[in-house]
Copies of this chain bind each other. A is one copy, B any other.
Amino acid sequence: MNLPKSEEQLMLVLWKLKKAFMKDIVEAYPEPKPANTTIATLLKRLQDKKAVGFTKYGSVREYHPLIAKDDYFSSQMSGAIKNFFNDSVAQFASFFTSKDNLTDEQLEELRKIVDEQIKARKK
């Protein structure tokens, strides 16, 4: 699933809210908010794509994501890694850790996380 920017934006809002009524979505939208009907259109398109679903409370709809943020992001990442680093995670990591991409602190943080992950898997 690869969503256009505008729909991705709406998904971000919905992922944050987890579930929401129309007004909640509008409210949570970052400035500059698009017209109300614009959001509605995006919502509609996302429903067509099965990316968003809803539960009916009477005649009111409460929307919720049908795809997980993690999954979505994960697949975006894989794509990027495949394209830009011919599928080599090492190359990707290397890129990521070098240059000005991370501060010293963030790098230390990353090591900690990696270490913990390795430890966790060892068991």
Q: Which A positions have Cβ atoms within 8 angstroms of B?
A: 8, 12, 69-70, 73-74, 76-77, 80, 83-84, 89-90, 93-99, 101-102, 104, 106-111, 113-115, 117-118, 121
| Cα distance, A97 to B8, chains bound together (Å) | 24
8 A-B pairs with CB atoms under 8 Å apart are A70-B95, A73-B80, A73-B84, A74-B99, A77-B96, A89-B106, A90-B110, A90-B113
Number of copies: 2
> Taking the nearest CB of chain B, how far is it from the CB of A48, in angstroms?
21
> Taking the nearest CB of chain B, how far is it from the CB of A120, in angstroms?
8
Q: Is the beta-carbon distance between A89 and B108 smaller than 8 angstroms?
A: no
Q: Is the beta-carbon distance between B101 and A121 smaller than 8 angstroms?
A: no
